[in-house]
Amino acid sequence: MIKGACYVRVSTDNQLENYSIDEQTERLTAYCKAKDITIVKFYIDGGYSGGNVNRPGLQQMLGDIAAGIIDTVIVYKLDRLSRSQKDTLMLIEDKFLANHVDFVSINENFDTSTPFGRAMIGILSVFAQLEKDQITERFTMGRVGRARNGYFHGGAYAPTGYDYTDGNLVVNEYEALQVRELYERFATGHTLHSCWIYMQDKYTTKYGGWKSETLVRNVLKNEVYLGKVKFKGKLYSGNHTPIISQDLYDRVQQMFLNSSKADAAQTGRTYTRSPFKAKTLLSNLIYCQKCGARFHGEHGNYSCYSRTKGDKRYVIDPDCKNKKWKIEELDALVIHYITNLDFNELQPDPDAQQELQPLKPDYSARIAEIDKQVEKLIELYQIGGIPINVISERIQSLAKEKNTLTEILEAPQPEALTLQDLRAAKDRFVNLLESGDLQEKRYCLTILIDKILIDDDAINIILRKI
């Protein structure tokens, strides 16, 4: 008596198959009856891909083969066993034949008990692998098409700052304010570690919170917040609303770049967790008036990124020939300008307040929703629907979010810069010139100066609006 194991598999929904479980079972039963094979069991994997062997039915069958209760494995079609050439040959040679178990595929009309059948297994496995590769290629092309059309392809797990609704990324206002604050904190010189501790202590997200320093780094490097989608290393314009500006993103990336370069020069490592600190007085303030790119300090000069091409991300016009400035010379010119600045000539700009502070989002609806959720959680606890520790943890998370939103709503609108602010910043800057810390000097300049435009020998220092 030949003891047979009938293996049945149907693929996942995204691979259109014409072999239902009932159809395969019926044909396998008829074959075994005609060949006088006693069916030990039907091993069925419904909704599993043939791209790997991690299938419960297949693994159970392999266990029974090792136990010696099966003489022959029968499938309706070779690709029901596997679509991978490597896996097919491994199963037949290492699992079936090694345990003196024959393999039969009734659709191809051969079995491994004959030399011809063993040769055909290898040939047909090649075509099964080809079909799998073609399916993968079509699937990949579909994902590229989605990216080109601006659709996020990360599935339902939307990045912090967005929700995934009807196939699109939609701004989650509470998380978006967290992302903006994270970028601003890092851009003003806070370390990656301190940013993580701050975000972890202050905020919660739909995924629970800022659970690791790696999460913080990934958010700070993710182009999705610029309104972009990325697939296979290429960026495409997304359909979703950006959360941060290109300028802020570029400043953050430049900090990562400069920090890693400095660390590599000293230790040979490619990344450092130490704080980023600018090495030049005017870093992040100078722009090229010819092409619009930033200037950066290197090898004793302030140079346009487009001219030096040190980082392709910041190149705007590869043919830009704007003049390089010696760091000491340009620093001296700006210092002279600031120390001799006459604030009496400055006139307040009536639009400065409006430009400086955009309208704050209204979180009152979200706060009301949080109150309702807390009430429902308390009701669930009273009827014994959820354990107290789960209720408590969820209520604490909601309370943390509500407190943060309430603080934002109740916080007074920051006032625009005044003449007194500029005078104080100038006085502090002058007092720091002799022996002050570079970062303190830079802080004073960022209060005073909006940007510095360079056009060869022409320098245009644009002050902050008051």
Instruction: Give the residue numbers annotated as catalytic, written as ranges.
Output: 11
Tokens 């346009």 identify what position?
Answer: 304
Count CB atoms within 10 A of the CB of residue 60: 15
Which residue, among 338, 354, 356, 345, has the nearest Cα to 419 in the 3D structure? Answer: 345
Cα→Cα distances 381→96, 389, 409, Å: 55, 10, 31
Q: Are 103 and 112 in contact (CB under 8 A)?
A: yes
Q: Cα(113)–Cα(103) distance, rounded to whole angstroms?
A: 8
The phi, psi pair for 261, rounded to 5°, reads -65, -45
**Residue 190, exposed/middle/buried by CB under 10 A (0-12, 13-18, 19+)?**
middle
- Tokens representing 10? 């149907």
Cβ partners under 8 Å of residue 317, min gap 6: 290, 291, 292, 293, 306
| Closest to 407 (Cα-Cα) out of 120, 202, 222 | 202
Q: Report the distance separating Cα 425 and Cα 449, nearest Å.
A: 10
Report the side by side order of strands in the sheet with 102-105.
Answer: 37-46, 2-10, 72-75, 102-105, 110-111
Q: What is the DSSP string of 381-428?
A: HHTT-S-HHHHHHHHHHHHHHHHHHHHHHHSPPPPPP-HHHHHHHHHH
Looking at the chain, how many residues does it have? 466
Give percent helix, percent strand, percent coil of the chain, each to the nearest 5: 50, 15, 35
Identify the helix (H) or strand (E) that includes residue 189: none
Question: In this structure, what are the phi and psi dihedrals at residue 203, rounded to the nearest 5 degrees?
Answer: -125, 160
What tokens does 287 get? 């722009």
- The answer to whether the beta carbons of residues 78 and 90 sit under 8 Å apart is no
